[in-house]
Amino acid sequence: MSIGATWAGTHTFGAAELIDARSIPEVQDAVAGADGPVRALGTRHSFNDLADSAGRLVTVTGIPAEPEVDESTRTVTVGAGTRYGELAVWLEARGWALHNMGSLPHISVAGAVATGTHGSGLANGCLSDAVAGLSYVNAAGELAYARRGDEGFAGLVVGLGAYGIVVRVTLDIQPTYRVRQDVYRGLSWEAALGDLRGIMGAGYSVSLFTMWDEPTIQQAWRKTRIGVGEDPQDGWQGARFETAAESGLVDVPPANLTVKGGVPGPWLERLPHFRLDQTPSNGDEIQTEYFVAIDDGADALRAVRELGPEIAPHLLVSELRTIAADELWLSGAYGRDTLAIHFTWRNSPAAVAALTPRIERALAPFGARPHWGKVNTMTAERIAAVTPRLADARAQFESLDPAGRFANDHLRRLGIRL
């Protein structure tokens, strides 16, 4: 029976079977009892064949979340297949919060963490940066545990499913907080490129949305923590302040998006762009995304803008966000404060296939790294050149899984597994 496709339909899985585990021992049996390769599948929100397996897929999304807070370490330990949105509701009800969210709350914790999924904010690391510990089923089907500070831990967090199946994740938490979300229209490119750090730092989490060919940036979303320097002003950087609480984005209806217009709300209802109870994004789409150092950000954006008139007809929208530097070996923000340059394309595979290498060439002088969960055409050589700890990560994966049970074509193509 076919296992189906990724959420956006961009890859049809070729794995022979999918095991929907209901407990950790079932995951152990699924790994120990597999004849050949085996890999973890999350909520299928990646756009490529990263999660696929030539043998068996195992999902832990059906294992009960059973969150446990440890107040002394300010962490929560939760079933790895839990959706961020569900964990967020549980935490909020108990007065706790995460530092950030991706644009949609529907993704699983393990799947998001495994690919270095991020939100925005100059001081906010990617979601993986909040991981304090991981329980995983290793190649022998045994339960293993690794925690922050252990040797090699920084190579396991953004792990791409390459060494085991993560079953429980421990995440840093903090007391709950409230956020307001303000939309500005008409921010000039001159202002954005003239002081990119200043613009992207004008809030807890700032996103810019553009079609690249418009004279001014279409929308700037400033998400500000209540009580921490929120300062909504009409005329900020010459942009117009939009007061409506419901504001659309390209063809995403306002009702699918979190509340704006400066209305204060809990972190989990303002930091994601999409509401948990609605369909996220467009669905009929392809995503690509690249990471450059924020200090190269303005020049990188100028380079992409040169292609703007060719990009725009095939684009739904692009989003520019920031990620604080981290030390996770395969994180897109490893070692550098980062500007994330994201493209949500119309579902036109031929146009995306033609434009993607050109964008990659334009961004190459800035050492651009790809988002692991999205479409890219970068070669293994190029990826190795921009991922300083790739060889260390690969060596650790090979030593934990010498028989290559968790390897797949995608990881071999990228040079992440042998």
Ligand X SMILES: Cc1cc2nc3c(=O)[nH]c(=O)nc-3n(C[C@H](O)[C@H](O)[C@H](O)COP(=O)(O)OP(=O)(O)OC[C@H]3O[C@@H](n4cnc5c(N)ncnc54)[C@H](O)[C@@H]3O)c2cc1C
**From 34, 60, 196, 286, residue interacting with ligand X (rule: CB under 6 A):** 60
For ligand X, the binding residues in 348-367 under the rule CB under 6 A are none
Please tell me whether residue 161 binds ligand X under the rule CB under 6 A.
yes
Smallest separation (angstroms) from ligand X to the CB of 95: 25
Total residues in contact with ligand X, by rule CB under 6 A:
34
Q: Looking at 99-107, 257-265, 293-301, 385-393, which segment touches ligand X (CB under 6 A)?
A: 99-107
**From 179, 345, 373, 375, residue interacting with ligand X (rule: CB under 6 A):** 373
**Interior angle at CA 388, CA 411 and CA 394, nearest 5:** 35
Smallest separation (angstroms) from ligand X to the CB of 48: 9
Q: Looking at 9-17, 88-96, 111-119, 387-395, which segment touches ligand X (CB under 6 A)?
A: 111-119
Please tell me whether residue 85 binds ligand X under the rule CB under 6 A.
no
Three-state SS string over the chain comes to CCCCECCCCCCECCCCEEEECCCHHHHHHHHHCCCCCEEEECCCCCCCCCCCCCCEEEECCCCCCCCEEECCCCEEEEECCCEHHHHHHHHHHCCEECCCCCCCCCCEHHHHHHCCCCCCCCCCCCHHHHEEEEEEECCCCCEEEEECCCCCHHHCCCCCCCCCEEEEEEEECEECCEEEEEEEEEEEHHHHHHCHHHHHCCCCEEEEEECCCCCEEEEEEEEEECCCCCCCCCCHHHCEEECCCCCCECCECHHHECCCCCCCEEHHHCCCCECCCCCCCCCCEEEEEEEEEHHHHHHHHHHHHCCHHHHHHHEEEEEEEEECCECCCCCCCECCCEEEEEEEEECCHHHHHHHHHHHHHHHHHHCCEECCCCCCCCCHHHHHHHCCCHHHHHHHHHHHCCCCCCCCHHHHHHCCCC
Q: Looking at 46-54, 86-94, 187-195, 224-232, which segment touches ligand X (CB under 6 A)?
A: 46-54
Choice between 160 and 303, CB closer to ligand X: 160
**From 13, 30, 37, 44, residue interacting with ligand X (rule: CB under 6 A):** 44
Residue whose C-beta lies closest to ligand X: 111
Smallest separation (angstroms) from ligand X to the CB of 234: 28
In the sheet that 143-147 helps form, which strands lie side by side, from edge to edge? 68-70, 75-79, 165-172, 131-137, 143-147
**From 37, 42, 79, 203, residue interacting with ligand X (rule: CB under 6 A):** 42
**From 10, 77, 82, 103, residue interacting with ligand X (rule: CB under 6 A):** 103
Choice between 101 and 303, CB closer to ligand X: 101
Smallest separation (angstroms) from ligand X to the CB of 374: 6
**From 21, 76, 110, 173, residue interacting with ligand X (rule: CB under 6 A):** 110
Please tell me whether residue 146 binds ligand X under the rule CB under 6 A.
no
Q: Looking at 17-25, 45-53, 65-73, 220-228, which segment touches ligand X (CB under 6 A)?
A: 45-53
For ligand X, the binding residues in 113-142 under the rule CB under 6 A are 114-115, 117-118
Contact call for residues 294 and 338 (beta carbons, < 8 A): yes
Smallest separation (angstroms) from ligand X to the CB of 129: 12
Q: Looking at 11-19, 161-169, 199-207, 379-387, which segment touches ligand X (CB under 6 A)?
A: 161-169
Smallest separation (angstroms) from ligand X to the CB of 306: 25
Which residues would be at the binding site for ligand X (CB under 6 A)? 7-8, 39-46, 50-51, 60, 80, 102-104, 107-108, 110-112, 114-115, 117-118, 160-161, 165-166, 280-281, 371, 373
